[in-house]
Chains A and B, each alone.
Chain A
Amino acid sequence: MRTILFELALTFYFAATIISIIEIFKGGPNINKKESRVLLFIAGIGFVIHTASIIYRYAAAGHLPITSMHEASSFFAWCIVLIFFFLEYRYRVGIMGSFIMPMVFILMLSSSVLPREIRPLSPVLQSYWLGIHTFLAFLGNAAFAVAFGTGIMYLVQEHYLKSKHLGGLFQRLPSIQTLAEINYRLITIGFPLLTLAIITGALWAESVWGTYWRWDPKEVWSLITWFIYALVLHIRLTAGWRGKRAAILSIAGFIVVLFTFFGVNLLLKSIHRFP
């Protein structure tokens, strides 16, 4: 059942991705917004099934399913879709799906090729902190992932406006100010979540090892991420730095997030490594 649900969710996300890519290449303005509703509908079904598959796995494992690469990728994708739907509800930027769904699909695809068995939890991880700490971290990083998408949308639209060649997606993309606003909002959501994740992680570490901070690679890279987004917020509030630079920084920030997520697990030794 778990497998079926997961595969089904993957299939729906795949369909949504195909539609979203067609959307990008079709260009021109939305004629009747029908396509973006289809996209939302299919992605929505995928999300519901995905949620069910995570709950199933939660029940089977007895803890939040984020303890293997398979689980983590899938859960990360789930968080991104959650935030995407929240933004869609709030801002109704139909074309956003075209920038988010491919990302979700790639995460789900990489999750699908990784080993799926549920392994017993090592004693160190058996703590209520596991759910709190990881959930905060995943949700925060998902906000950064969507901010990355809107950052790219911003750069595309800004390029059209500056070059004065208003082709392709110009009509479909919202105003750059809307994109900057969404981007900023996402960072103001992601940043406190990341901060809380780092704090809860430190508290958890203290309860297990008696020390708050061990300079574990994941800790270090999370701190780098934290500084990047802190910088985005800081310069926006003080110098009013906004627009293009903020968009570029939010793209750079997410690349660091990705490295923290995948790179650390694959390349470096870390207590955060999945077994």
Chain B
Amino acid sequence: MKILVLGVNHKTANVELRERLAFNGDKLESGVSGLHNVPDVREIALLSTCNRVELYTYVNNIVSGADNIKKFLSAFHNIPRNDFEKSLYVHADSDAIRHVFRVASSLDSMVVGEPQILGQLKDAFDFALSKKTTGVLLNKLMKKAISTAKRVRTETRIAENAVSISFAAVELAKKIFIDLSSKSFMLLGAGEMAELAARHLVNNGVRDVLVVNRTYERGYELAKEFNGKAVKFEDFLHELIHTDIIICSTGAPSYMLNKEQMQKVMKERKHKPVFIIDISVPRNIDPDINKMENVYLYDVDDLQEVVDTNMLERQKEAEKAEKIIDEEVQKFISWTSSLQSVPTIVSLRQKAEEIKNEELEKFKNKYPDMDDEKMKAVEYLTTAITNKLIHPPTVTLKEDTEDRDELIAMIKKLYGINGDDNEE
């Protein structure tokens, strides 16, 4: 079947090499069409993300195909072959199929189970499709990669739990509150992680956003970004009364909120639950607050622990996913090998059809007075006989048996079907 996958990823190559091999911007189009013109390459799709550069190809010959592609890569990117050859993995046939399925199912990702890769892969194939560099085989491979990835997603819990701190915060918020859209949220301070978590919360429906910053202007800028309201630093304690979720990330050297203050706040808000995420180091919120009822305080280590547990869970699920992929690879292989017999079956049918038509023609000439009804009956009879005759060999050829190649050869010989046909 001659499927060949070549590539580098975050495990085999460092960023520098990945950058040098990347097909970004204009390089993607020229890369795809350039590769399509490489000798031996019949079909090609190209995936280039920050973590991986991969070529999915259908070639005439695995060995020379791989060699020609390497030559092309070296010339196209202007890198000596020695610089990338060690980092480049080359998978052929069943290994290649498995690799594509694993990539699509996010088992090969840096963060196992992250969902973006499937979209990137789809885009890569869509692009190749638009450039007409793929055909029957790669299109089918892509379709199967997507359905395998979906199967993995529904039958395992690989993508179920949050594996980043900012997502873990959202996951927890959803287990505390009924719906996030009616909740108000305060961003206390700033910082990359805090802003990312804030963005996730907003994306998950939180609408009422308050931003508190020691410098009001900075707070104002941030508030604009989240469609929220900036609050003066002095007023933050008062605003806590109406706040359900707090993300705190300031550079303050000591606690900004202690238990007594929080007790007052809780009384004022009639003990409605509060979720506080303190990702500042050193911590800005007295950890004792977590002992209060209806207050859920998580610091950065707590969130990290949640993430670690989830990661472990994903590893376990990945094992289940590998089994699913094994099954799907098997299915794909039997599909490709059934392809081999298709041209022979088609020729056999054509042959039978020709003979039938020829004989019918002769028959019509011999008995020109025959009425239509009887003629129809004769036609029906001949069709039935030819169909019955070619049915058993068709079924046999479609079956996935060891000796299929011999059978194909034998049928060709027996029925005098020429060997020049369109078999690839």
The answer to whether B309 has its CB under 8 Å from any CB of chain A is yes
Q: Mark B289-325, 1 if CB is under 8 A from A, else 0.
A: 0100110101000100110010001000000000000
Does the CB pair B172–A161 fall under 8 Å? yes
Query: Please, how many angstroms separate the alpha-carbon atoms of A93 and B70 in the complex?
Result: 56
Also in contact, A162 and B290, with CB within 8 A (given A29-B160, A242-B272): yes
B295 to chain A, nearest CB (A): 9
Which residues of A are found within 8 Å of B115, using beta-carbon distances?
A: none
Q: Name the residue on A nearest B306 (C-beta).
A: A166
Q: Mark B134-176, 1 if CB is under 8 A from A, else 0.
A: 0000000000000000000011010011000000000010111
Does the CB pair B271–A181 fall under 8 Å? no
Query: Please, how many angstroms separate the alpha-carbon atoms of A239 and B178 in the complex?
Result: 21
The answer to whether A197 has its CB under 8 Å from any CB of chain B is no
Q: Mark A174-210, 1 if CB is under 8 A from B, else 0.
A: 1111100100000000000000000000000000000
Which residues of B are found within 8 Å of A164, using beta-carbon distances?
A: 298, 302, 305-306
Total contacts A-B at CB 8 Å: 62
B242 to chain A, nearest CB (A): 14
Query: Residue B157 contacts which of A28, A175, A240 (CB distance < 8 angstroms)?
Result: A28
Query: Please, how many angstroms separate the alpha-carbon atoms of A242 and B267 in the complex?
Result: 12
> Size range of the interface on A?
20 to 34
Does the CB pair A161–B175 fall under 8 Å? yes
A246 to chain B, nearest CB (A): 10
Q: Name the residue on B nearest A237 (C-beta).
A: B270
Query: Please, how many angstroms separate the alpha-carbon atoms of A13 and B14 in the complex?
Result: 60
The answer to whether A92 has its CB under 8 Å from any CB of chain B is no
Query: Please, how many angstroms separate the alpha-carbon atoms of A166 and B270 in the complex?
Result: 27
> What is the total number of residues of chain B having a CB less than 8 Å from a CB of chain A?
26
Does the CB pair A175–B294 fall under 8 Å? no
Which residues of B are found within 8 Å of A240, using beta-carbon distances?
A: 269-272
Does the CB pair A177–B309 fall under 8 Å? no
Also in contact, A243 and B273, with CB within 8 A (given A175-B176, A175-B178, A176-B176): yes
Does the CB pair B271–A243 fall under 8 Å? yes
Does the CB pair A177–B177 fall under 8 Å? yes
Does the CB pair B155–A31 fall under 8 Å? yes
Which residues of A are found within 8 Å of B172, using beta-carbon distances?
A: 161
Does the CB pair A177–B293 fall under 8 Å? no
Which residues of A are found within 8 Å of B269, using beta-carbon distances?
A: 240
Also in contact, A175 and B175, with CB within 8 A (given A31-B157, A242-B294, A244-B293): yes
Also in contact, A242 and B178, with CB within 8 A (given A32-B154, A162-B290, A164-B298): no
Does the CB pair A242–B271 fall under 8 Å? yes
Does the CB pair A243–B175 fall under 8 Å? no
Which residues of B are found within 8 Å of A241, using beta-carbon distances?
A: 271
Query: Please, how many angstroms separate the alpha-carbon atoms of A29 and B317 in the complex?
Result: 13
Also in contact, A167 and B309, with CB within 8 A (given A161-B175, A175-B176, A175-B178): yes
Name the interface residues of A53-67: CB closer than 8 Å to any CB of B.
Answer: none
Q: List 28 A-B contacts (CB under 8 A).
A: A28-B157, A157-B175, A160-B175, A161-B175, A161-B176, A161-B296, A162-B290, A162-B296, A164-B298, A164-B305, A164-B306, A170-B175, A173-B175, A175-B174, A175-B178, A176-B176, A176-B273, A177-B178, A177-B273, A239-B270, A239-B271, A240-B270, A240-B271, A243-B271, A243-B273, A243-B293, A243-B294, A244-B293
Binding site for B on A (CB under 8 A): 28-29, 31-32, 157, 160-162, 164-167, 170-171, 173-178, 181, 239-245
Binding site for A on B (CB under 8 A): 154-155, 157, 160-161, 172, 174-178, 269-273, 290, 293-294, 296, 298, 302, 305-306, 309, 313
